Amino acid sequence: EIVLTQSPGSLSLSPGERATLSCRASQRINTNYFAWYQQKPGQAPRLLIYGTSTRATGIPDRFSGSGSGTDFTLTISRLEPEDFALYYCQHYDTSASWTFGQGTKVEIK
């Protein structure tokens, strides 16, 4: 079973700053099966990025994803007030199972 480890656990930044979130897999994974989600308090998760680097419908271009092998990154180029939230990485395994990272909280400094 693949384990996803996100770092850091939390990130304190100011609006306008750049956020870089990492997700490391315990073994190499297919980039087509990797995604990022955003979750705000009291809300359901929202798909941000799929296939490692493709933005989901309606996601602003300040969000970008990259990576390969075992190391993946979500970058928010300039933080807007609405971007302060929890972020999860996710992997789909072809055995039809899903794994999530433990989350990174992006907080206002």
Residues lying near other proteins in the complex (CB under 8 A) are found at: 32-33, 35, 37, 39, 43-47, 50-51, 54, 56-57, 88, 90-103
Please state, in angstroms and rounded to a whole number, the distance separating the CA atoms of residues 52 and 35: 6
Which one, 54 or 66, has the nearer CB to other proteins?
54
In the complex, the smallest distance separating the C-beta of residue 43 from other proteins, rounded to whole angstroms, is 8
| CA atoms within 13 Å, Cβ hemisphere of 34 | 26
Provide the minimum distance between the beta carbon of 47 and other proteins in the complex, in angstroms, as a whole number.
Answer: 5
Q: Which residues does residue 10 pair with via DSSP β-bridges, in sequence order? A: 105
